[in-house]
Structure 1
C-alpha cells in the first residue's frame, strides 16, 4: 500500500510539472524557433542525464536492453514532443494541456499488458464526453474550422498514448533502469533534432535570459525528472493506471495558463474544459474499478513490478 501511494504521488508530481510545461514551451517558442527549442531542450537533458547516469555514479554501464529500448522510446518520445511543441506554439497553453489529456482515455484502449479484458461500455461513454470536449475547445468562442495548434495537440495525444503503452510493454519485457533509459532517450532526441535545428542554433546566443530559464525548466524538470519518474512509476503499475493518474495535468495546465499566462476562456471553451476534466476523471474511475475487479477474479494475472 505504501509503495502504491508513493508511485501515485510521483505520477501526480509529474502531472504538475507537465501541466506547467505548456506555458513554458509557449514562452520559449515565442523567442526561438520550435526546432531550436526542441534541440536545446534535448541537449541540456542529455548532458544532465549522462552526468547522473555515468558508471562511476551508478552501478554498471548501459545494458543492451537499455540501449535498444531507449532508442525505440527516444524516437516515439521525440514524435510526441515535436507535435506538442508545434501545437502549443499555435494555441493557448490551457487548450494544449486539456486536449493532450485525451491520452488518459486513449491509453487503456491501446494497453493490453494488464490482462483485464474488454473495457466496459461506461468507459467508452467517458471517451465520448472527452471527444465532445475537444470539439468545444477547438471551437473557441464559436464553431469554426479547428486551428492548426489544436489539431496538432490532438495528434500528439494519440501518439503519446501509444508511447505510454509502449513504455509499459517494453519495460515489462526487459529490465531497465529509469535513469539509464532516459539518458538514451535524450541522446536519441538530441541526434534527431541536431540537423533540422542547425540553421537556427546561432539564435540561442541572442536569446533572452527568460528564454534560457524556460529551456532549463523544460530540460531538467519536464524532461529529465518527468521521464525518469514516469518510467520508474510505469515499472511499478500498469501503463493505463500511470496515464490515468496523470489526469490532473490538464487542471494544472489551465491553472498555470490563466494565473501566470493571462489566458482566458470563452463560453464554449470553458464548457469544453469542464467536460474534459469530467470525462477523464470518469474514465479513470471506470478503468480503475474494471481492473480491480478483473484482478480479483484472476489474481495470478496481476501485473508485478518490473524493476527495483
Structure 2
C-alpha cells in the first residue's frame, strides 16, 4: 500500500511538472513582446540563477573546474534554446510553440545516431516523418503556406535543444558531475548572455520591470519558481524513486498539456487540418520516443539522463 501511494505521489508531481511546462508557452506569450525578449530572459535567468546559487552555497560543496567548463558550454547552448524559443513565442501561437518544440524528442535520437554511429530503426524514421508532417499541417492550419517566422524560430529551438540534450551525458561520461552545480552554472551563463543582450537590444531590464503589473509579476514568478526551480527538483527527487524511463514518459506529456491549454485557455483558432496536425505530432513523437527507448535499452544499459527542467520554455 505504501509503495502504491508513493508511486502515485511521484506520478502526480511529474504530471504537474509536465502541465506547468505545457503552460509556459502561454505564460511567456503574456509576458513578452519582440522588444522585451532579452529583458525578460535576463530577469528570468538572474532570478533562477540566484535561487540555484543560494542552494549551492548552502550545501557548501565546491564547484569543480570540470563542472564550470561543462556548465558554461551547455549554458551557451541553453541560451540559444531560450532565445530561439522566446523570440518564436512572440511571433506564433502558444499551441504551435508547445507542439513544434516537442520535435526535440525525434531530433535528439537522430543527432545522437550521427554522433555515435548507431543506426536508428526504420520505424523511428517513420515516426519522425509523421511528426514533421503534423508540424506542416499545424503551421499551415489548412492552407498550403510555409511556416511563419515564429514557427521557424521554435523549430530552431528544437534543433538546438537536441544538441544540448545530446551533449549533456557525453560531457559527464568520463567523470561524475553534480547536476545541481551544472544547472546553476548553466543558468548563470544564460543570465550573463541575456543581461548583456538586453543592453544592446530592445527594452532594458529597468524598462521591462517598470511595465510589469501585479498579474504579470505573478506570471513571471510562476515561470521562474514553478516551471524552472520546482520542476528541476521534482525530477531529481523522482528519478531516485522510479525509473528514468518512467520519468521521461510522464514528462513527455508536455505537448499534450500545451495543446489543451493553448486551445482552451488561449483560444487558439484551428481548422480540422490543424487538429489533424496536432494528432500527428503527438502520435509521431510518442511513437518515436517508444521506438528509441526500446532500441537504446537493447543496445546499452539505461542511464539516468540529466534532468531537462531548465530547457523548458
- Normalising by structure 1, we get a TM-score of 0.84
Unaligned runs of 5+ in 1: 295-300
Indicate the residue corresponding to 1:279 in structure 2: 284
Cα distance change, pair 243–135 in 1 and its aligned pair in 2 (3 A): farther
Post-superposition offset of 1:189: 0.8
Output the CA distance in 2 between the equivalents of 1:290 and 1:306.
Answer: 16
Report the counterpart of residue 18 of structure 1 in structure 2: 21
Aligned counterparts, 1:265-276, within 5 A: 265-276=270-281
- Conserved 8 A contact 1:67-1:184: yes
Structure-2 residue corresponding to 1:202: 206
C-alpha distance in 1 between matches for 2:10 and 2:128: 25
TM-score by length of 2: 0.83
User: What secondary structure, in the 3-state scheme, does the structure 2 residue paired with 1:101 have?
Assistant: helix
Corresponding residue for residue 249 of structure 1 = 254
Distance 1:125 1:30 in 2: 37
Q: Which residue of 1 aligns with 2:311?
A: none
Go from structure 1 to structure 2 and tell me whether the alpha carbon gap of 1:8 and 1:171 turns closer, same or farther (over 3 Å shift).
Answer: farther
- Classify 1:69/1:7 alpha carbon distance in 2 versus 1 (closer, same or farther; 3 Å): farther
1:107-186 map, 5 Å? 107-111=108-112, 117-186=118-187
Counterparts of 1:216-235 in structure 2, within 5 Å, are: 216-227=221-232
Query: In structure 1, how many angstroms separate the alpha carbons of the residues matched to 2:284 and 2:15?
Result: 18
1:218-268 deviation per Cα after TM superposition (whole angstroms, max 9, x unaligned): 222223334556678899988x99766542111011111122222232222
The answer as to 2:288 corresponding to 1:289 is no
Q: Is the 8 A contact 2:99 2:278 kept in 1?
A: yes
Q: Once the 2 structures are TM-superposed, how far is the Cα of residue 52 of structure 1 from its aligned partner?
A: 1.4
Q: Which residue of 1 aligns with 2:216?
A: 211
Which range moved further: 125-134 or 178-187? 178-187
How far residue 89 of structure 1 moved from its aligned partner, in angstroms, is: 1.0
What is the rounded CA distance, in whole Å, between the counterparts of 1:192 and 1:153 in structure 2? Answer: 19
Deviation at 1:171, TM superposition (A): 2.9
Residue pair 1:31, 1:207 contacting (<8 A) in 2 also: no
Equivalent residue pairs, number: 298
Inter-partner Cα distance in structure 1 for 2:109 and 2:142 = 32
